[in-house]
Amino acid sequence: MMRVLVDVNLYIAYLLKPHEDSFIMFLLEAVWEEQVTLLVPEMMLQELEETVRNKPRLLNVISEERLARLLSLLRLFGEKIPLITEDIPPVTRDPKDDYLVAYAVIGQVDYLISGDNDLLVLRKVGSVSIVASGQFRQILRAYKAKNGHAN
């Protein structure tokens, strides 16, 4: 089973335009089918919640109910990662992204999935591959085909 961590920007994209064929629905289906373990650091959930609540343009489009539903789904289906209490080393061009890389490494994820070029440019940190959502869809479809899963 693959272990993944998803950047906040992909959750926000889903909240802005929720639909059945969205990447987040695709991912949650793979979690439900036990093909993927989704890591959910509390720090990432806090960033998601704060980003939506502190940006009026997001708050005008994303309902409180939709945000709460996604957060509870992530808490329910995601694997928790203990809070990192040590200093997080700088790895990315944007220091706000360093915590995601740290949690990906500590959580021993196979893929950190993001739409952020500051992360995507790294491609790999340790054993963690950093990929876009479209790339991960292809990777997961190939994995499903290889392991005899439909879709």
Task: State the burial class of residue 66 (Cβ atoms within 10 Å of its Cβ: 0-12, 13-18, 19+).
Answer: middle
* Rounded Cα gap, residues 46 and 81, in angstroms: 13
Going by pLDDT thresholds of 50, 70 and 90, the confidence category of residue 52 is very high
Q: Is residue 77 part of a domain?
A: yes
Please list, in sequence order, all residues whose beta carbon lies within 8 angstroms of the beta carbon of residue 146, skipping any fewer than 6 positions away: none
Query: Regarding predicted confidence, which is higher, 83 or 66?
Result: 66
Q: Is residue 150 part of a domain?
A: no
If you average pLDDT over residues 42-55, what whole number do you get? 94
Region of residue 148 (left: phi > 0; alpha: psi -120 to 50; beta: else) = left
Q: Is residue 80 part of a domain?
A: yes
Amino acid identity of residue 30, one-letter, is A
DSSP letters for 35-57: SEEEEEEHHHHHHHHHHHHH-HH
Query: Regarding predicted confidence, which is higher, 34 or 82?
Result: 34
User: Own/partner pairs for 71-74, CB < 8 Å, 24+ apart?
Assistant: 71/45, 73/28, 74/11, 74/38, 74/40, 74/45
Q: Is residue 151 part of a domain?
A: no
If you average pLDDT over residues 109-134, what whole number do you get? 96
Q: What CATH number corresponds to the domain at position 139?
A: 3.40.50.1010
- Domain holding 19, by residue range, is 2-145
What pTM was estimated for this model as a whole?
0.92
Number of domains, the chain:
1
Q: Is residue 126 part of a domain?
A: yes
Amino acid identity of residue 37, one-letter, is T
* Rounded Cα gap, residues 8 and 48, in angstroms: 6
Write down the pLDDT at residue 150.
59
Q: Is residue 33 part of a domain?
A: yes
Closest CA to 5 of 74, 89, 59: 74
Going by pLDDT thresholds of 50, 70 and 90, the confidence category of residue 149 is low
If you average pLDDT over residues 108-116, what whole number do you get? 97
